[in-house]
Amino acid sequence: MTDAAEEELPGGASGGPVRMAAVVAALIMIGLVILLWTRDGGTDFAGQSPLINQVVPAVAGETLEGEPFDIDDARGKWVVVNFFASWCVPCEQEHPELVEFAARHVDDALVVSIPFGDTEEGARAFFEELGGDWPVVKDPDAEFAVKFAVLRPPETFVVAPSGFVVNRYQGRITADLLDDHIAQLLAQVDAS
């Protein structure tokens, strides 16, 4: 009688090593799925983007409130363009930080949110529950998401008062992180 782990497969191959390799591969895959599923999005993952040091893509349309919006009207201010979704847990976690940033920078910065893969109703409910008094620009055809090459929410772009994109963050951000980044950029300008 042979051991079940050493069964002969067709062609004379032993099943033990094949099964062991399959188990190891399955465990690795399960580990990767768990890692990706539990990833919190981080708080300071600055990403590379072809938009860095380029003029911000055109963002012009209608807000959830039915008001017209054009990002060009914000020239002279820092603009934080945040792609979010109501179903996105890291978006929900970072939202109070955006509220804090907006409160700190009433006169010199503007937060703009754009729903990513979400419904208008979901976006409205998100803001009703979590607050935030800034433009939420509709993007029903994902036109803005494509222009910014957004991969998944939350994703945030910082636009200088000149209208040039100066940074991109993938994952959660904080008000302090945004403030620190702006302060570094201003120090570089002053040093020039």
pLDDT by residue for the chain (192 residues), tens only, comes to 555 444 554 555 556 777 776 665 555 555 444 433 434 444 434 457 778 889 999 999 999 999 999 999 999 999 999 999 999 999 999 999 999 999 999 999 999 999 999 999 999 999 999 999 999 999 989 999 999 999 999 999 999 999 999 999 999 999 999 999 999 988 887 777
Q: Residues 91, 129: contact at Cβ < 8 Å?
A: no
Residues 22 and 86 in one domain: no
Residues 17 and 78 in one domain: no
Alpha-carbon distance 127 to 115, whole Å?
11
Position 8 scores a pLDDT of: 53
Say which DSSP state 11 is in: G
Identify the sign of the CA torsion 50, 56, 59, 63: positive
**Is 44 part of any domain?**
no
Residues 78 and 144 in one domain: yes
**Alpha-carbon separation of residue 125 from 65, 85, 131, 132, 149 (angstroms):** 13, 11, 10, 12, 26
Residues 103 and 166 in one domain: yes
Count of domains observed in the chain: 2
Say which DSSP state 12 is in: G
Which domain, by its residues, includes 75? 60-191
Position 52 scores a pLDDT of: 87
